[in-house]
Amino acid sequence: MNRAQIKSIPKVELHCHLDGSLSPEFISSRLGRKVDFKELSVSIDCTSLNEYLEKFDLPIKILSTPEAVREGTIDVLRQGAEENVRYMEIRFDPVCLSNDGMTTDEAVIASIEGLREGEEKYGIKGNIILCAMRQFDLDQNLGTLALVEKYLGKGVCCMDLAGAEALYPTSGFKALFQEAVNRQIPFIIHAGEADGPDSVRAAVSFGAKRIGHGVAMKGQEDLQQELKKKNIPVEICPTSNYQTKAVHGTYPLREFIDAGLKVTINTDNRTVSDTTLTDELEKSVHIADLSDAEIVTLEENAVNASFADTDTKEKILEELKAFL
């Protein structure tokens, strides 16, 4: 497929951070000044995940009111709709956004309102993922878990664990995810991005429904086969992974596909990484020498791995058949 064809196929995005994907136009409108794109994005010269995360400071400052969260959610959905993304899961940390007087409930409600308005305006469906953060203590993250429980099925689909993975290893969050299991709350985990394969092993042992990034599984045949056996999808983000130095040398997309993993392609942060889902799929074609059928399979994987309702899944899967 060429770029125009990739843009035209119905697509699903599972790993997209709200604060890292606000358009420069939206941020400029909220600040009242034109923002230099360099303030918001990194280049391939970025040295680490920690440096990458510094680009979130300004967007988080912008998302300080319910109105901003609602309109920011709409802004991200608009970007997706412009490249025929049909369903999108947008994630953010509600605790971080509540530091300027807005409550966590208000932030979540505003994001759900944004989903509804975005669907009405652009015809794109979506769900919200709420992120527990690695630097927070257990009580703070249990607060996020309680929010997921409160709004589950009402616009929120699951909980995630995000943040500086190497500084706060996944293995230290057993109590949080045990509580999620006890409450029957689904969760996904960033793992194998800035830390090694043991991070993925911990996430799998906790019961994660999907693995965010997971590129540290490169060369780990036993771990790959465990994910295949347990049918745990992987959300990979090629541009971001190179920028944060999660990957050096050969990207493991072809390795993961050949191992039978349910791989999905995502942007991670549209603005911070200066990318779109079309860009990521086009890059993936070159990285892994993908056939047209494999591109469609990647999108089918994303549909099936999503928390979308059955009708939405069936409709997108039916549309994808036309591209086989």
Catalytic positions = 193
Measured CA to CA in angstroms, residue 209 lies from 160, 177, 189, 194 at distances of 10, 12, 8, 20
Output the DSSP codes for 25-43. Answer: HHHHHHHTSPPPGGGT---
Measured CA to CA in angstroms, residue 156 lies from 68, 149, 205, 272 at distances of 18, 9, 24, 24
- The answer to whether 158 and 305 are in contact (CB under 8 A) is no
- The answer to whether 228 and 241 are in contact (CB under 8 A) is no
Separation of alpha carbons 27 and 33, rounded Å = 9
Nearest to residue 236, comparing CAs of 209, 256, 207?
A: 256
Three-class SS string for 73-136? Answer: HHHHHHHHHHCCEEEEEEEECHHHHHHHCCCHHHHHHHHHHHHHHHHHHHCCEEEEEEEEECCC
Residue with tokens 């807005």: 102
Structure tokens at 65: 């009111």
- The answer to whether 283 and 102 are in contact (CB under 8 A) is no
Residue with tokens 């300004």: 58
- The answer to whether 216 and 241 are in contact (CB under 8 A) is no
- The answer to whether 91 and 270 are in contact (CB under 8 A) is no
Burial class of residue 90, CB neighbours in 10 A (0-12, 13-18, 19+): buried
